[in-house]
């Protein structure tokens, strides 16, 4: 069904967008500056480092909303109450392509436990995002976050620096950033561990103990 919907939507592709970086905090300004200085490379490399934020030190919930690659509106109202993985990516980014199978594998493992997955495409047209999902078998949605001032990137940059593409965040059930991986995921086990730790905070991860 998702594949048929993509094919229908591709006929009405929105105009091309160019990434100029998201605004907001110092992290987003750094992101914009790096993009201006690294257009030939095609992506901003992160070192894969992980920041984990104790529950008592997390900021407020991130409120966001945007249109997905299938034309539906999706946002924080749809993820509140669930542990959520948010991955910032675009199709021409080599590390994004390399980690795509790991994200999909984690999605297949944790979706039955109620974990939500969301991509935030920072650069592409709808058709490019759809082609990427087809190629890598990605079943979860991605918000196309180019128009209207990159509202989703701005919302997250106000809470945690987004210094690289890709960046992967794990949100707790209250919608707060619990973990950030800056750059390509090391492997699926890294993401699995972060998800399980966040599930365990609310007791939601008990079903994982026997898996």
| pLDDT, tens digit, 9 for 90 and up, residues 17-32 | 223 233 233 344 444 4
66 vs 29, higher pLDDT = 66
Q: What is the dihedral of CA 71, 72, 76, 78, to 10 degrees?
A: -150
**Among 111, 119, 112, which Cα is nearest to 138's?**
119
Helix (H, G, I), strand (E, B) or coil at 33: helix
Cα–Cα distance for residue pair 115/43, rounded to 1 Å? 28
What's the whole-model pTM score? Answer: 0.77
CATH class of the structural domain 2-10+22-202? alpha beta
């Amino acid at each position: 069904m998702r594949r048929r919907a993509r094919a229908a939507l591709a006929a009405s592709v929105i105009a091309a967008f160019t990434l100029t970086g998201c605004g907001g905090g110092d992290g987003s300004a750094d992101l914009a500056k790096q993009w201006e200085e690294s257009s030939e490379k095609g992506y901003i490399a992160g070192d894969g480092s992980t920041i984990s934020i104790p529950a008592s030190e997390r900021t407020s919930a991130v409120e966001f909303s945007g249109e997905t690659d299938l034309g539906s509106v999706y946002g924080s109202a749809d993820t509140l109450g669930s542990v959520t993985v948010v991955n910032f990516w675009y199709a021409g980014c080599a590390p994004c392509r390399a980690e795509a199978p790991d994200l999909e594998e984690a999605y297949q493992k944790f979706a039955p436990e109620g974990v939500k997955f969301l991509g935030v495409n920072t650069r592409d047209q709808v058709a490019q995002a759809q082609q990427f999902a087809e190629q890598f078998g990605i079943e979860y949605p991605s918000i196309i976050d180019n128009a209207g001032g990159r509202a989703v990137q701005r919302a997250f940059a106000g809470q945690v620096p987004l210094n690289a593409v890709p960046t992967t965040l794990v949100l707790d059930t209250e919608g707060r950033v619990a973990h950030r991986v800056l750059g390509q995921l090391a492997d699926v086990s890294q993401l699995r561990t972060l998800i399980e730790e966040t599930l365990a905070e609310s007791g939601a991860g008990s079903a994982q103990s026997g898996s």
